[in-house]
A and B are shown apart, each in its own frame.
Chain A
């Protein structure tokens, strides 16, 4: 049995050691530790009905083999569009020796399955399950073979397995037939895994397992969930930053048509009615007194977020960058800014809950299944085992569902009326109560050497919290980490040949909730650093692609980064400067060990920036499903373009605004590049991160192209021409 290779990050860097442990565990994709799944196999063996696979509703883990020889894979990770279910099906099918079409992936529920203890996020679903799932599937296959041998009276080694059928000795049994005959399972030592090259499904661009359901509009999302006799809830949510619930006059709401009950809690007020419309109408009739200490304005937030205002923490240091930059002449400096960003996922947050006689069931779109269970149990005063969280497909995640306390509200309303209650945010509430991507401010300084390469560089980023303050991340770890690794994600200097470099993360506590937004700090930090790299290349009179290649170190990470840079430049036909009204811009980043380089081809039409083509080279290691890697790149590029070019929340008179699509301008069909060319390199053996890394370079790539066309250096997102 081979040990999964521990992922090494930032080799050669003098990375602040005390932060590397926690971050490595959290973001490195290895937190789904071997003991955890080992334990799950052990518990299967020890429980009264171990590893039940008879196709009923009995407790089971991971695999459920049905009589018709279909295998249900109970996924410990949720599907939010990132394609995880498909990748897991491919991985499992290969080791389990079934056809891809025989596997159906479903969400594990806390009562019946093995749920990832932390979350679905951080681009880790496939990478973290790659080793354990293959071993589990191989083990399962051997168990089935072993039982088949017993039934057939043959030696297991004499049997062969193909497409879920065990044959030998002149007989053949399907997996479905075998499980019917098994009372007790024997769990063997984990068998050796197959040679990756022999895999039939891993590495193939197979269609998504959820494709058909999603094309026919099947009811698979949290908001589609129903329970018998279900009522509809609505909760009054704050519209002002920092608003504290004081009291509510519900006299009018109580008389509204369809109202079943008005529910007043110490921390919120809600209403339960027969329909969504009646619940919303009644909610609007509740007069809530809020305590709002201060009416915040955008200008104040911008002032708070400036580098130098918060608490600094040095996250990267090599040589004497600060000394050089403080004392020498001809130091290049530049400042960059990024705005508050909304998640704007299409399915609002909400849940369907039923609380009855000492137990609770919650159906919900969430990225944190277990944390949600813990929170609901705590609020209801129940043991966690009495709370079953049934995850549904997510109508978008993007980090918005890495805290879903809305499950509590649905549960409390259900408990009050003794019936299932569906309770969701409306869109305005969703915008007002988002956990936003924090605004950032960046100060960069650099000094070129006589060879035209960078002698010293410094990146300082000031940001609101991302990881800190999240329920995923105990506050006790903050002093250990020092800096918010979410805020500085992508904020380190990735050009290791530079002799002197330094990165500083400034922490600012903002008065509104900021949190995980797909790729975290990567979007803004890469925009700042890679725009600045472009400025430095121009100052040095060098081609920006070669300028980057010349300053990347020669280790494995450096090699992979250089390869994507070269591949992107080659595929795009990289040309510096403007040609026939168009120009290319170049940028590259490394995120969660996945390097990505992008070339944006841009023109100016009617005074607006128009992106015609984006070429993207990415090296996520082994691509379990190249088509889904491509899909994630296309989506990330467009989402990154949207955030870089159009999106911005502002704070006005204490409110976050706007609160609707349209006024919150996002990329539409018309804004999308007509060509997106994705090149996938696979210079690592195991699968790595895919969902977030390709968001990194796009903002800088566009801004760098705009400079070549207009001479305007755009240093603030969203990018706007003067």
Chain B
């Protein structure tokens, strides 16, 4: 079936089986490889994208549901020239190690900051439940707080 949506601000139409997980449409049809496959079971969060501003695990999201929606991936997280505040904070705190899970974490964090501009440690514990095997959580927490600062200073 034909499915139309906006991805990172650009209209797209793809021809795919409507039940194909959105993840594979993003990665293999649109060749945006920043959204990762970790488990395919919505358990690790490596495939997190935004659908109409909400954090969604794209491995468990049938492509047909994307019809007419606005999708943002890590490649489109930054608008304008610079990096998104979350990416800036991730740079400042030197968060990534292997880096594979990081786009999912950054997308989840960006969604959190839209809803909770000044997250507490408890908010972070409750909302950010992705998995990082390098265990960069300690710096992520700092980076999330820092991202909130940057974002709030910008607005």
Contact = CB atoms under 8 A, between A and B. Distances in A.
A and B pair up: yes
Interface of A: 80-83, 207-208, 210-221, 223-224, 226, 232, 275-277, 343-348, 393-398, 424, 426-427, 627, 631, 634-639, 642, 660-662, 666-670, 672-674, 676
Contacts of A346: 36, 38, 44, 46, 98, 100-101, 131-133
A78 B54 CA distance: 36
A527 B121 CA distance: 30
B51 interface: no
B2 interface: no
B140 A669 contact: yes
A638 B102 contact: no
Interface in B26-52: 28, 31, 33-41, 43-44, 46
Given A427-B39, A627-B94, A669-B124, A219 B34 contact: yes
A698 to B, nearest CB: 11
Contact of B99 (A210, A275, A642): A210
B74 A395 contact: no
Given A215-B102, A669-B129, A674-B121, A427 B97 contact: no
B128 A669 contact: yes
- How big is the B interface, by class? 35 or more
A212 B98 contact: no
Contacts of A81: 96-99, 134
B12 to A, nearest CB: 17
Interface in B91-149: 91, 94-103, 106, 121, 124-126, 128-129, 131-141
B138 A673 contact: yes
A4 to B, nearest CB: 28
Contacts of A627: 94
A221 B46 CA distance: 13
B102 A214 contact: yes
A contact patch SS: loop
A395 B91 contact: no
Contacts of A220: 99
Contact of B24 (A83, A216, A276, A666): A276
A189 B92 CA distance: 42
Given A217-B103, A631-B139, A660 B41 contact: yes
B141 A669 contact: yes
Given A223-B37, A395-B100, A631-B136, 8 more contacts: A207-B91, A216-B83, A217-B74, A345-B100, A427-B43, A631-B94, A662-B43, A669-B124
A634 B138 contact: yes
* Closest A-B pairs by Cβ, 3 of them: A217-B34, A81-B98, A395-B100
B138 A668 contact: no
A573 B80 CA distance: 48
B39 A661 contact: yes
Interface in B43-101: 43-44, 46, 73-75, 78, 83, 87, 90-91, 94-101
B139 A634 contact: yes
21 contacts: A207-B94, A212-B91, A215-B90, A217-B74, A221-B33, A223-B36, A223-B37, A343-B133, A344-B133, A347-B98, A393-B98, A395-B101, A397-B98, A426-B40, A634-B136, A635-B134, A660-B41, A669-B128, A669-B141, A670-B126, A676-B138
Contacts of A636: 135
B133 A398 contact: yes
A275 B15 CA distance: 13
B20 interface: yes
A228 to B, nearest CB: 12
B13 interface: no
A49 to B, nearest CB: 34
Contacts of A343: 133
Given A214-B96, A216-B75, A276-B28, A661 B131 contact: yes
Contacts of A80: 98
Contacts of B73: 217
Most chain B beta-carbon contacts within 10 A, residue among A210, A276, A667: A276
A397 B99 CA distance: 12
Contacts of B21: 277
B41 to A, nearest CB: 6
Contacts of A214: 96, 99, 102
A575 B104 CA distance: 40
A345 B40 CA distance: 14
A275 B28 contact: yes
